[in-house]
Amino acid sequence: MQLSSINIRRQIMPLMRRFLDLKICRIRRRTDAYSTVCTLVRHRWMRSVVIRLPKQLCQEYSSSSTPKAGIDMSDFPVDKIRNFSIIAHIDHGKSTLADRLLEITGAIVKTEKNKQVLDKLQVERERGITVKAQTASLFYTHQDETYLLNLIDTPGHVDFSYEVSRSISACQGVLLVVDANQGIQAQTVANFYLAFEAQLAIIPVINKIDLKNADPERVEKQIEKVFDIPTEECIRISAKQGTNVDQVLKEVVKRIPPPTARKEDPFKALVFDSTFDPYRGVVANIALFGGRVSKGDKITSAHLGKTYEVNELGILRPDEHPTNTLYGGQVGYIVAGMKDVTEAQIGDTFYHHKQPVEALPGFKPAKAMVFAGMYPVDQSEYTALRSAVEKLTLNDSSVAVQRDSSLALGAGWRLGFLGLLHMEVFNQRLEQEYNASVIVTAPTVPYKAVLTSAKLIKEHGQEEITIVNPAQFPDKSMVSEYLEPMVLGTIIAPDDFTGKIMTLCLNRRAIQKNMVYIDEHRVMMKYLFPLNEIVVDFYDSLKSMSSGYASFDYEDAGYQPANLIKMDFFLNGKPVEELTTIVHKDKAYSVGKAMCERLKDSIPRQMFEIAVQAAIGSKVIARETIKAYRKNVLAKCYGGDITRKMKLLKKQAEGKKKMRRIGNIEVPKDAFINVLKRKEK
Amino acid sequence: MKGSRQFCWSVVKRTLYVSPKTQVDTSTVPSSRDTSVLVSPPQSDEAALYVHWPYCLRRCSYCNFNKYIPRSVSHSAMRECLQKETETLLNLSQVFRITSVFFGGGTPSLAQPATIAAVLETISQHAQLSKGAEVTLEVNPTPAGMSKLKDFVQAGINRLSIGVQSLNDEDLTVLGRDHSSQHALHTISEARRLCPGRVSVDVMFGRPGQSVASWEKELEELLCVCDDHVSLYQLTLERGTQLFKQVERGELTVPGEDITAAMYRSAREVLEKRGYRQYEVSNFARGGAVSEHNLGYWRAQQYIGVGPGAHGRFVPLSAGADQREARTQTLEPDVWMSEVQKSGHATRRRLPLNRLELLEEVLVMGLRMVDGITHQHWEMFSPSDDLHAFFGQPGDVQELQQRGLLILDDRGLRCSWEGLALLDSMLPTLLVQLETHVLRKGQQRNQICPPSQHREGRQAR
């Protein structure tokens, strides 16, 4: 019975949505009897299919159909509004739960294809991650009252925790989703604390209970132990199958407090996200902390003091849905003729022109953790690449952009990212969305140096400088001390892997700060890491050594003095600027050796021998040799082979133009990043 | 620019010979960047002729060639169609003389000698086929093939190319060949009796499990019995073949890059010592017994391809064209046959070659020869700019010369002994240089005179 009803629902729901929305809605409002609805449904569309629809279906269906055209937002006073986020460790099913919530409330038509609807970017779908937070307003009917639920989706990866904190600031509560099999993971902890510190209502949701190895009881105990939330507060669901998802919505209404905003107050709104639309300019996502705002109103930015006229506003469901007015406690978007994303700074406060209010606290600006140079493969593509970088950074204000130029690579940029994934995603978006081809240099972390040379101090205007480009690393003779950025890392893993993980961390110069068991088998460890040790491949190594069971998250932990040196790499005596790296002195030899070996493997043989060297100053500390080709000629080539042969050669000739040349050596442009990313041996 | 494109379309429209399935690849029709069309390639009244026999008795484990293992072959239908297509294409090209004929495959020695005779007869009816012209047949050294050799010679074959591949019986089994080393030796001696001085043997190195020492021994053995011509092939693993799968699954291992390099090197030395002069990457001849037909390919001469999947390079003069085309016949024998019956020929794809593309082929093929590309040879295709203008400028190509891999001198452009083994690594560099030069010249010309005057065309003439 259960099974068949699900099947039927799948088949008929889209149809029903399309034809019956309004009609049923009205009937539903006037009467309380679900049976009325069912009769109608059967009568019209399902003569021979179903006699009785499950109660749940009717409920879902009716709630889906509430306001359609011309929503009057004044129907939703604050006590009918709930603003919440879903937070979770990556892959714990956050986006799937969001899909189900959207379906149940009718924001999207229920189909098999609804997979991560809020993940709009190609890169998000390909990698199965959320990069950019999205917002959706849902209409949900509970005990005859229609509620406006604003769901603010958040990114899942550790690099994007900054976005999570932003989203959280517009909410009064969160759904903390935990995988029933994997249990609490590092980001679960990090995200919990973000919500906890913001004093939000936290609803633990245990997802994937349909999995064979699901152990919701154990996870509930973990939650009780680590977060001090009673086990009975957890909701067990399967977002994939839709089990108990309706319960989640009920609990959202029950447990999450309404926003405290008052309609009567002066208009006051927090900008918690912004995107750029080439036609309309900046589209800002705002949360109203008080008052109301309508089309045609004049609003002022607290940050810049500039005044704008509101051209368009509305709610996101998740597509833009214009309305006339937004009221206190609501969440929506606003277009007000801002031409530059910096005009809608995230964390800024908007108020009515001539009715200034106290600005909301806002957020710390995103802090770039990883820097890398980006250059066009061919300098003639500089202008095109510049416009692509500009467009992309318009939508991602967390990328720090700085013009840069190098002797070897020409004009380009030094970009700052939140983490390596963020950098890869940026690079991938450049390639996919703008068809740009770039050379990326070795990522580096922002080091600091305390200068002693009076001349340099004068030049920089300060004693302590930050170095984001290894090429500008000052010589030891002019420096009293180098400092490196540190992070506090959290690792959660089954205790079988404790030994291996401790060794890995030790090799990464980490210091253990604490270690606790979160249940009988799982350990949470805290380590103080130098940031540069985890930037490139730590997460991959950790994952592979723990068969994917360990999770990792980190937070900023200031700077510490370190014995740093600059290491250069040479191919036949010619420096490879992309690879210049700052390393800890104790690790110089092993890093140099490993990098030379990897370079040897990733540069194809050429017609001459290539010496690969790592050097500190003028001293070579490691060397590898790439032997020359001895033979490379196709055995036979007669009349019938020419066409194929020419095609292959032309392709090679085209590829040649795209190679990065160092002296007369040709290097495929992804070789360097591959060299940096390879797992440890 | 515009003119040449229009010109091509007019070719298409006027070509009545082209079967309905023929596609002209307009994407490479004289591209916008290269405007000058080489109007009449050299010796356009001459061509070589290749005939493809698509059938085999069994599939060799390394072969990805266009071949079919049929349950039965209609010899008479094949004969008629080969004759028909030969006739049509000869008329289309309007060549006056056929310089050589090559029957390849597949396994052309499975064809009936009467078929060979009929095709040669057709050629003679529509063009001049001089008595001395080289007419080669590829032969599988099976007893059945051997018994027919006499008849083939009677039919007009005067050169035999025998696919020995190996003198090791185990290896022949792995390669999926249908003959033994004993068969091979018998076939060679019979062939030498019938066509003294005009027998070639094919032999393959880089086979699974082969070592440099065993290869040298095998080669010495072969040289004791063979005639004046040897072709050396390195076994290449082609995707989709059984051998490729076996190697991928780890059931067989083929020698690595360094070992095959040593094999090639030692073979070149051994052959040289025994009086076989290398004249091309994989071809060696004693006493000048070179293959005229194959030299034609490397010298970028015209050739007509007849039979399923055959390739050709010629100017279809009678269709009003004055530009060489790369032409491919329909692949599948049955489809090919019905197309020939319907339209007289089964040209599936026609690709007019622009000046740059033609020069690319001249370069890529020419450098395979030990003598390389002479200045006279280059001049026939590029009357305005000589080899020095193209390749004598400072840059990557000059670096190859400085490294002693490439030679550009009074004779022309060619590989050094060392360089020949590295040709495929040098060609992309040479092609980039060639394209850059053609593009630069094109720009200069456009600056000097307005494009509407089409000076380029006249220059090329």
Q: Are residues B364 and B284 both part of a single domain?
A: no
Residue of A21 and A258 predicted with greater confidence: A258
Mean pLDDT calculated for residue range A280-293: 90
Residue in A closest to B360 by C-alpha = A646
Name the least confident of A271-275, A567-571, B166-170. Answer: A271-275
B401 within domain boundaries: yes
B316 within domain boundaries: no
| Predicted local confidence at residue B270, as pLDDT | 96
Mean pLDDT calculated for residue range A538-554: 83
| Predicted local confidence at residue A174, as pLDDT | 93
B439 within domain boundaries: yes
Q: Do the chains contact at B313 and A630, CB–CB below 8 Å? A: no
Chain A residues inside the 8 Å CB shell of B311: 639-640, 642-643
Residue in A closest to B235 by C-alpha = A635
B27 CB-contact burial (10 Å; exposed 0-12 / middle 13-18 / buried 19+): exposed
Residue in A closest to B260 by C-alpha = A631
Distance CA A243, CA A477 (A): 66
Q: Which of B297, B327, B344 is the last residue of a domain?
A: B297
Q: Are strands A619-626 and B283-285 parallel, antiparallel or unpaired?
A: unpaired
Q: Are residues B235 and B383 both part of a single domain?
A: no
| Predicted local confidence at residue A432, as pLDDT | 79
Name the CA radius of gyration of chain A, rounded: 29
pLDDT at B428 over 60: yes
Q: Are strands A665-667 and B23-24 parallel, antiparallel or unpaired?
A: unpaired
Q: Are residues B162 and B73 both part of a single domain?
A: yes
B405 within domain boundaries: yes
Given B104, B260, B400, which is nearest A631 (Cβ)? B260
Mean pLDDT calculated for residue range B218-239: 93
Domain span at residue B393 reads 355-460
B230 within domain boundaries: yes
Chain A residues inside the 8 Å CB shell of B257: 629-631
B309 within domain boundaries: no
Q: Are residues B182 and B256 both part of a single domain?
A: yes
Given B234, B360, B428, which is nearest A652 (Cβ)? B428
- In contact, B235 and B259? CB cutoff 8 Å: no
Distance CA B328, CA A7 (A): 54
Q: Do the chains contact at B422 and A634, CB–CB below 8 Å? A: no
Q: Are residues B75 and B161 both part of a single domain?
A: yes
Chain B residues inside the 8 Å CB shell of A606: 425
Tell me the residue ranges of DSSP E strands in A58-189.
81-88, 135-142, 145-152, 173-179
Mean pLDDT calculated for residue range A391-410: 79
Q: Which of B274, B297, B320 is the last residue of a domain?
A: B297
For A180-228, how does the pLDDT look when each residue is reduced to its tens digit (9 = 90+)? Answer: 998 998 888 888 888 888 889 999 999 999 999 999 999 999 999 999 9
Q: Do the chains contact at B328 and A631, CB–CB below 8 Å? A: no
Distance CA A647, CA B175 (A): 28
Task: Give the residue from B364, B424, B426, B430 with the most A CB atoms within 10 Å of its CB, the best one to mutate.
Answer: B424
pLDDT at B14 over 50: no
| Predicted local confidence at residue A18, as pLDDT | 34
How many distinct structural domains can be found in chain B?
A: 2
Complex ipTM value? 0.84
Q: Are strands B199-205 and B229-234 parallel, antiparallel or unpaired?
A: parallel
B258 lies within 8 A of chain A by CB: yes
CATH code at position B286: 3.20.20.70
Q: Are residues B74 and B148 both part of a single domain?
A: yes
Given A608, A632, A650, which is nearest B424 (Cβ)? A632
Q: Are residues B380 and B231 both part of a single domain?
A: no
Q: Are residues B50 and B145 both part of a single domain?
A: yes
Structure tokens at B254: 């083929």
Q: Are residues B286 and B364 both part of a single domain?
A: no
pLDDT at B26 over 70: no
- Angle among Cα A49, A54, A57 to the nearest 5 degrees reads 100
For A453-505, how does the pLDDT look when each residue is reduced to its tens digit (9 = 90+)? Answer: 888 888 888 889 999 888 889 988 889 999 999 999 999 999 999 999 999 99
pLDDT at A669 over 90: no
Q: How far is B114 from chain A (nearest CA, A)?
A: 25
For A13-30, how does the pLDDT look when each residue is reduced to its tens digit (9 = 90+)? Answer: 333 333 333 223 222 323
For A611-637, how does the pLDDT look when each residue is reduced to its tens digit (9 = 90+)? Answer: 999 999 889 999 999 999 888 877 778
Q: Which of B257, B278, B297 is the last residue of a domain?
A: B297
- Cα–Cα separations (whole angstroms), residue A96 to A92, A118, A237, B408: 9, 10, 12, 67
B313 within domain boundaries: no
Find the distance separating the first CA and the last CA of chain A, reported in whole Å.
55
Mean pLDDT calculated for residue range A594-617: 91
Q: How far is B258 from chain A (nearest CA, A)?
A: 7
Task: Give the residue from A609, A610, A629, A637 with the most B CB atoms within 10 Å of its CB, the best one to mutate.
Answer: A637
Q: Do the chains contact at A633 and B303, CB–CB below 8 Å? A: no
Question: For A506-537, what is the HEC assignment?
Answer: HHCCCEEEEEEECCCCEEEEEEEEEHHHHCCC
Q: Are residues B226 and B80 both part of a single domain?
A: yes
| Predicted local confidence at residue A456, as pLDDT | 84
Q: Are residues B385 and B261 both part of a single domain?
A: no
B45 within domain boundaries: yes
Task: Give the residue from B294, B311, B401 with the most A CB atoms within 10 Å of its CB, the best one to mutate.
Answer: B311
For B27-71, how does the pLDDT look when each residue is reduced to its tens digit (9 = 90+)? Answer: 444 443 343 434 445 557 899 999 999 999 888 888 877 778 887
| Predicted local confidence at residue A528, as pLDDT | 96
Q: Do the chains contact at A642 and B425, CB–CB below 8 Å? A: no
Q: Are residues B277 and B399 both part of a single domain?
A: no
CB contacts < 8 A, A to B, total 109
Distance CA B104, CA B90 (A): 19
